[in-house]
Amino acid sequence: MTNEDDKHWCVECWVHVIVIMADDMRVYITAEATTRTSAVSSGVYEDILINAGRFDCFSYSVESIENDVLFGFSNFQGNADLFIARRNEPSTPASSAIRLSTPIQYPRQILIVTKEDRNNWSAELGQYYLCAQSYAPVSAQAFIKEDEYNGVFDAHKDHLYTFLLQRGDSIQLMYEQDELALMRAEIHVEASVWTTGTTDLSQIKVFYTICLDETPSRPCYMEALDANGSSGLAEQLELAESVEESGDLTLTDVTTSLRYKGKVQHDPAVCSGAAHAHLEVTSCKYIFSIYNPSASQSPRRATFIVPDIIVEELQHVEPGRAYRNVV
């Protein structure tokens, strides 16, 4: 076994194993690489390696009762199932310490643990663990961010967000892209809700609005009545539903997934000062609220992603010139 403390340690280099045989025989050589880091600090990106078939955990100590915590994981090679555990480091995915897990594998994952989640788990402060179960060698980068997000989080394209929704609760994800201020676009949105045990097939709802006047003292967010659709001010995203079921519906361990896909047709005119003379336009951000109208007491695990955005560049037409195929 070698590590970075050894005299001949190197990185980005080949390691040659020389075998001198005294007799004819077949020899198998295998190698494993492990990460020496066992803890992750807030705001620090840690490169990690996980060998095939391993269940490895990395600890983090929550600093404030008022903060929400984002647990991020980006794969360079391989995929892994991710788990969040409180207080006691789990040794298997079946541990009772686990409170949140990713329902599907995806290269860029962020698990959201809110202050309300930690209060419900009676573990507002102290040790938490980001754990990964790998099925093939995994090279990845882990990061953790903790702040007073107040239930409003930035959403990045092609990142899968996993979180819990209590009864009548919502979570807000805010998406922006520089091109939105200048170009037409079609923003693709996907949301899913996962239920284990007694199936709750009530739909989740997605509402959205656009924030144009964000300032450091007035951040973008939806009021509670907007976030659950009661005010009528936020648009409800038209979602195409597809139900995916696994297992026997009579069994208590069945997992049912309700997946929804929708599109937002963006017009750059909504981001212009001319369209909003009463506002000083400082931003062009979409805020999506994922709302759980279920009457069930059990929290529901949900996901959200902006998998794609199709940008259409505006065409400038000059008087006196002929154009072909201009739409």
- Which amino acid, one-letter code, is at 257? S
On the question of pLDDT at 16 being above 60, the answer is yes
Question: What is the phi-psi region of residue 168: left when phi exceeds 0, alpha when psi lies from -120 to 50, beta otherwise?
Answer: left
- Could you report the per-residue pLDDT of 70-122, keeping only the tens digit for each? 999 999 988 889 999 999 999 999 999 999 999 888 899 999 999 999 999 99
193: confidence class by pLDDT, cuts 50, 70, 90: confident
The Cα–Cα gap between 33 and 146 comes to: 29
| b/e map 234-249, b = 16+ CB within 10 Å | beebebeeeeeeeeee
3-state helix/strand/coil string of 144-156: EEEECCCCEEECC
The Cα–Cα gap between 109 and 75 comes to: 9
- Could you report the per-residue pLDDT of 218-277, keeping only the tens digit for each? 888 899 999 998 888 888 887 776 544 433 333 334 455 778 888 999 888 888 765 555
The Cα–Cα gap between 73 and 84 comes to: 12
The answer to whether 75 and 107 are in contact (CB under 8 A) is yes
DSSP letter, residue 75: E
Domain map of the chain by residue range?
34-150, 151-327
- Could you report the per-residue pLDDT of 287-301, keeping only the tens digit for each? 999 999 888 888 889
Instruction: Kindly tell me the burial class for residue 86, based on how many C-beta atoms sit within 10 Å of its own C-beta (0-12, 13-18, 19 or more).
Output: buried
pLDDT on residue 247: 35
Q: Give the sheet arrangement for strand 160-165, strand by strand.
A: 46-50, 138-147, 68-77, 108-113, 160-165, 300-312, 184-196, 255-266, 240-246
DSSP secondary structure string for all residues of 282-306? ---EEEEEEE-----SS-EEEEEEE
The Cα–Cα gap between 182 and 284 comes to: 10
The Cα–Cα gap between 254 and 269 comes to: 47
320: confidence class by pLDDT, cuts 50, 70, 90: low
Alpha-helical runs (H) found in 74-215: 115-120
pTM metric for this prediction = 0.82
CATH number for 151-327: choose from 3.40.190.80, 3.40.50.300, 3.90.1150.10, 2.60.120.680: 2.60.120.680
Mean pLDDT, the chain, as a whole number? 83
Pick from 157, 155, 142: nearest CA to 74:
142
**Tokens matching residue 290:** 């994922």
Sign (positive/negative) of CA torsion 89, 94, 98, 103? positive
On the question of pLDDT at 44 being above 60, the answer is yes
- Could you report the per-residue pLDDT of 133-152, keeping only the tens digit for each? 998 889 999 999 999 999 99
pLDDT on residue 83: 96
The answer to whether 137 and 276 are in contact (CB under 8 A) is no
In this chain, the answer to whether the domains covering 34-150 and 151-327 adopt an identical fold is yes
Query: Class assignment of domain 34-150?
Result: mainly beta
- Which amino acid, one-letter code, is at 301? R
